[in-house]
Amino acid sequence: MMLIAGDEMEKDFESKMRLQNQAASGPSAAAVERSRSFAFRAPQEQFSIQDFELGKIYGVGSYSKVVRAKKKDTGKVYALKIMDKKFITKEKKTSYVKLERIVLDQLDHPGIVRLFFTFQDNYSLYMALESCEGGELFDQITRKGRLSEADARFYAAEVIDALEYIHSVGLIHRDIKPENLLLTSDGHMKIADFGSVKPMKDSQIKLLPTSSNEKACTFVGTAAYVPPEVLNSSPATFGNDLWALGCTIYQMLSGTSPFKDASEWLIFQRIIARDLKFPDYFSDEATDLIDKLLDTDPSKRLGAGPDGYAALKMHPFFQGIDWELLREQPAPKLALDPNATSSSDDQDAPWSLAHVGDGSQSNSGADGSSGGTSSSESSSLSRIASIDSFDSRWRDFLDPGETVVMISMVKKIQKLTNKKVQLILTDKPKLIYVDPSKLILKGNIIWSDNPNDLSIQVTTSSSFKIVTPKKVILFEDAKQRAWQWKKAIEGLQNR
C-alpha cells in the first residue's frame, strides 16, 4: 500500500498542526492555552487538489514544487506549494515543513509572501501562498543580463525593508538569493521560501514543541550565497542573511554570483578565501556597500553592528531612497519572458492531475491513462518530479501515461549560434529538446542504459555535455542544474 510513513506523517500533522480545533473541555488548562496560542490565521482546510485548476510552474525546491493554482469556485489565484510526504519523511524534513508553516502564518509584512490556507491528501501537503505574477528576481537578471544600478538599488532596498522585519521578530531566513525573491505583477519584491528559517532564542514567533530541533550550526542554504562562518560550523546569526544580501546585490549588478565556480567545493574555497573581484563598471558606492556586507566577520557586516539597519539604510548607495514610502514608489519595469505565449489563457491551461498524484483512487486514469499511479519505482519518483515545469505546452510531446522526471530551459551551445531549448527527460525513459517558441520537437537523443552509448559529462555547475556514439551536445542551464541533470539521467540508467 502507498507509504505507511506518509500516513503516519499525516496523523502527526493532524495532531500537532490543528491545535485550534481541540475541544475547550477536557484537556488541561495548559493544553487549552497552547491551543489558543496556535489558532492559525491561515486555516487547514478540507480541500482537494481537484478543487483547483493548475497552470504554469513558479519554482522547484528540494522537496516541493510551486505551481499557479486557480480555485475553481472562487476564481482566486494562489501559488500552491506542493510537498511530497514520502520525500519529507525519508529525508527527515518534517520539522522544517512544520516550522515554515508556523512561521509564515505569523509573519505580517508587505515584503513577505502570505500564507492563506493549507490542506493535504495521502501523497502531499499543500500551502496556498500569495501569487507573485512577476516571477523570480533571478529571471529578471537573466533576461536583462544585469540590472541597472537604479533597479538594483530599488530591489535591494525592498529586500532590506523585509529583512529588517524578519530579524526584528528573531528569525534568520538563511536562504536569501535571487530565486527566493519574488516580484508582484507591478514589480514589488517579496521574500519567499522559509523552509530554512532559524528562530533565535528570543524570537517573537510562537513555536510548537519540537518544531525545530536542529543544531544551531546546521548547514543549510545555497552554496554560492553561504557565508564563511557557516562553512566553519559557527552558529547562525543575522549576519548570515546580510552576507547573502551582499551576494545578491553583486549578482543583480553583474549578472553572476560573486563566488561562482565550477563546483560547490571550489565555490566554498573561494568563499573561505574571500576571493572577491569587483567589475570596473561597479560604482564606488556599490563596491563599498558589497564589500562591507561581505565582511568575513558577521558581527562587522553593515546592518549587524551596534547601529543595526539604520547604518545600512544610510549608506551612500541608497541615497534618494524614501524608506518610509518605499512600497508606494513605482517599481522597475519587468522584462517579460521572450518565450511566453501571448495568450493569457496559457497561465491557466490545465494539466492532468495524474501528474500531482494525490493518491485517491478516483483520480487514477481520469484522463484515460495510468498517469502517476503506476506501481513502478520510476513512476513513483517522477510523480512529483513531473511538476517541475509540466504545463500544457509540453503535454503534446509525451505519450499517454508518460511523466516528466526533469525539465529545464537551457541553451544548446553550437559553433555559430546558441539557441534556447526546453530539455525534457521522461520516465519512459526519453530525452528530447523542444523549441519553446515554435513548440517544435528539435531533437530526440537516443536513449541507452549503457553509459558507453549515452553519458553526461559536467564541465561546470551550469554546463554539461550529453555524449552519444554519433554526437556530443553541449547545454548550459542558467539555474546551475548540471549536476542534477547528471544524477537524473544516470538514475534512470541504473534503475
CA–CA separation, 457 and 137 (whole Å): 29
Q: Which amino acid is at 165?
A: Y
| Active-site residue flag, 175 | yes
By three-state DSSP, how is residue 34 classified?
Answer: helix
CA–CA separation, 305 and 285 (whole Å): 19
- Cβ atoms within 10 Å of 364's Cβ, excluding its own: 16
Nearest to 135 by CA among 485, 479, 482: 479
Q: Which three cell numbers stand for residue 2?
A: 502507498
415-420: long-range contacts, CB 8 A cutoff, minimum separation 24: 418/476, 420/339
Q: Do 191 and 136 form a contact (C-beta atoms < 8 A)? A: no
Residues 6+ apart with CB under 8 A from 260: 224, 267, 461
What order of strands is seen across the sheet that includes strand 124-129? 52-60, 64-71, 77-84, 124-129, 115-120
> Which of 105, 121, 161, 175 is the catalytic position?
175
CA–CA separation, 253 and 139 (whole Å): 14
Beta-strand pair 52-60/64-71: antiparallel
Q: Give 486: exposed, middle or buried? Use CB within 10 Å, 0-12, 13-18, 19+.
A: middle
Q: Which three cell numbers stand for residue 163?
A: 529583512
Residue 392 host element (H or E): helix 392-395
CA–CA separation, 321 and 250 (whole Å): 19
DSSP symbols for 413-457: E-SS-EEEEEEEEETTTEEEEEETTTTEEEEEEPP-SSTTTSEEE
By three-state DSSP, how is residue 323 classified?
Answer: coil
**Inter-helix orientation angle 94-106/4-17, to 10°:** 30
By three-state DSSP, how is residue 116 classified?
Answer: strand
By three-state DSSP, how is residue 473 classified?
Answer: strand
Catalytic residue set: 175
